[in-house]
Amino acid sequence: MRIIIIKKKIILIAILILFILSIIYALISRMSTNTFKIIDPIYKGCEGQKKVAFACNVVWGNEYLPDMLSEFKKNNIRISFFIGGDWADKNKELLMRIYSDKHEIGNHGYNHLKHTQINEEKNKEEIIKTEEVINSILGIKTVLFAPPYGDINKKVTQIAEDLGYKVIMWSIDTIDWNTKDYTKILERVNKKIHNGAIILMHPTESTVKALPIMIDDLINNGYEIVPVSEVLESNN
């Protein structure tokens, strides 16, 4: 009888230990989900619609922006411009022209740094400072963040998300910043074009030359060119 009682006590203790362990595991899992949630940057939009987005990063190239804007206006096209904060500070009138043409404005950090190589505080400062500069000029809050150089990791993505941003990358890179032959840009886009594509570009001479042909090719193939937020809408 004594042995049976001891066995029952052992079983009860084992059950109690398992119950406590299950509670601890649940708490750890919840903490992990809330504190270390995995968030991925966005490389493309919805593939269910024949839409593509132009994402133009701006920290230089002032001499080419007016021609780009004229081409977009001529074709009634709106795109997304990701603006460097330092550039915005020095080019208020040009930024206002971009916005007055109804283009979407995104955040590209203030000093065009590699965000994986700076600490959390500096990451936040780069994004928030740019947000404040753009807001002071245009009266809007940016909600899309394109990391300079496409330099990204989970930590940087998490920081941006915590500040209320979606992190935007690209699925087609024109490499226009390092391409003098504009036909190479056209080849890169035509080779990889797909529904929901985010096409990265910059204000360069080769981009200005490629744009009219690129736009015609896309429209003739049934694509609608929209800002990044619109190509993402069906992903929400």
Map out the domains of the chain as residue ranges: 1-37, 51-235
Q: Which residues, at least 6 apart from 117, have a Cβ–Cβ distance to it below 8 Å?
A: 151
- Other beta carbons within 10 Å of 46: 15
The mean pLDDT of the chain is 90
| Residue 172 CA to its chain's centroid (Å) | 13
Examine the pLDDT at 88 and tell me if it is beyond 70: yes
Superfamily of domain 51-235: Glycoside hydrolase/deacetylase (3.20.20.370)
pLDDT of residue 25: 55
Q: pLDDT band at residue 37, thresholds of 50, 70 and 90?
A: very low
**Does residue 204 surpass a pLDDT of 90?**
yes
Which two three-digit tokens encode residue 115? Answer: 């965000």
Question: Tens digits of per-residue pLDDT, 110-146?
Answer: 999 999 999 999 999 999 999 999 999 999 999 999 9
pLDDT (0 to 100) of residue 32: 41
Which band of pLDDT confidence, cut at 50, 70 and 90, is reported for residue 162? very high
This prediction has a pTM of 0.83
Predicted local distance difference test score (pLDDT) of residue 187? 98
HSE-CB for 225 with a 13 A CA cutoff: 25
> Percent of the chain at pLDDT above 70?
83
pLDDT of residue 154: 96
Q: What is the pLDDT of residue 35?
A: 39
